[in-house]
Amino acid sequence: MFNTVAVAGATGAVGRIILQLLEQRRFPAQKFRLLASARSAGQQIDFAGSRITVEELTHDCFHGVDLVIASTPDETAAEFLPSAVRAGCRVIDESGYWRMHPDVALVIPEINPQAALSATGIIASPNCSTTQMVVALKPLHDAARVRRVVVSTYQATSGAGLQGTADLLAGTRAALNSTTYDYKAFRYPIAFNAIPQIGSFKQDGYTSEELKMIFETRKILGDDSIQVCPTCIRIPVSNCHSETINVETERPLSVAEARQLFESFPDIKVLDDPNLGQYPMPSICDGSDDVFVGRIRRDLSHPNCITFWCVSDNL
């Protein structure tokens, strides 16, 4: 039982989901505090039968807090979370800022919970597109050692925050009505479009989102030899990221063995019946904690490769 839990970024897209889950799961804490930027401070949010006033996130707001769950922009996490650590808080951070810091544990509970047990200060949560992919890779890696991954992601607009979803809805209305809309979260219209850029361009023509998938995968699985070639695409879906994943393993895996490995792993659900047209889709995976896998098949071009489709609720 925690005495006091603070949610930083409580008014954002992920922050709202965090509050829903804390309430649904009756998270054991005597008191909850909700923190956000100065422009959101003063808002009142109904939570667990009470109405809580949102407080401003400051360097001095963490005294008396046992656990901080933070979902803020990277620059906010960089500035304020060290103050939480100095105040004696344990911190779970959803931002990208601390993930690759050598002294910070990057944790997916189904994969490397031991890293959280030994961590002090900040525990980082991986990028959403990395998380679902690595959960799917883990049973294959344990059984046959993953050598190389080629992944294309089809990412929902909610991954760009509340404004991303607002852009999708308003932009779609504008397109259907033949009017204009000034997009705020995206450089190009997202309605009836696909944008092959998420994040800023970095080394060798890869975006920041794609590089996260490379380096975070290696850190979580504890294997720097794994090669990852990602392409991240934004599509006009409101929630749930989809990925097509091609995996080369050290020894060949049959489709039947891969399916059995997926089915036996915690929090993976297999939806894979081609005869019935059964496979994961964002419309049926929304609101679930699970990682859904389907379209499992061997790669006809390589004897040691398995290909599959993967969908998960990114929020």
Counting Cβ atoms within 10 Å, is residue 187 exposed (0-12), middle (13-18) or buried (19+)?
exposed
H/E stretch holding 228 reads strand 227-234
Catalytic hit among 89, 232, 241, 310: 241
241 flagged as catalytic: yes
Contact of 268 with 139, CB cutoff 8 Å? yes
Assess contact for 186 and 193: CB atoms under 8 A.
no
Distance between CA atoms of 183 and 170, rounded to whole angstroms?
A: 9
Token reading at 186: 């995206």
Residues 6+ apart with CB under 8 A from 220: 106, 107, 108, 111, 112, 126, 130, 134
Distances from the Cα of 197 to the Cα of 70, 204, 209, 315, angstroms: 26, 14, 9, 20
Q: 171 and 193 in contact (C-beta within 8 Å)?
A: no
CB 188, CB 168: distance < 8 Å:
no
The token pair at 253 is 């895996």
**141 noted as active-site residue:** no
Question: What is the spatial distance between Cα 161 and Cα 185, in angstroms, rounded to a whole number?
Answer: 8
Say which residues have a Cβ less than 8 Å from residue 202's Cβ, sequence separation at least 6: 208, 211
Selecting among 128, 232, 240, 305, the annotated active-site residue is 128
- From CA 127, how far away is CA 96, in angstroms rounded? 7
Which residues, at least 6 apart from 276, have a Cβ–Cβ distance to it below 8 Å?
Answer: none
Task: Retrieve residue 68's tokens.
Answer: 């901080």
The residues assigned a catalytic role are 128, 241
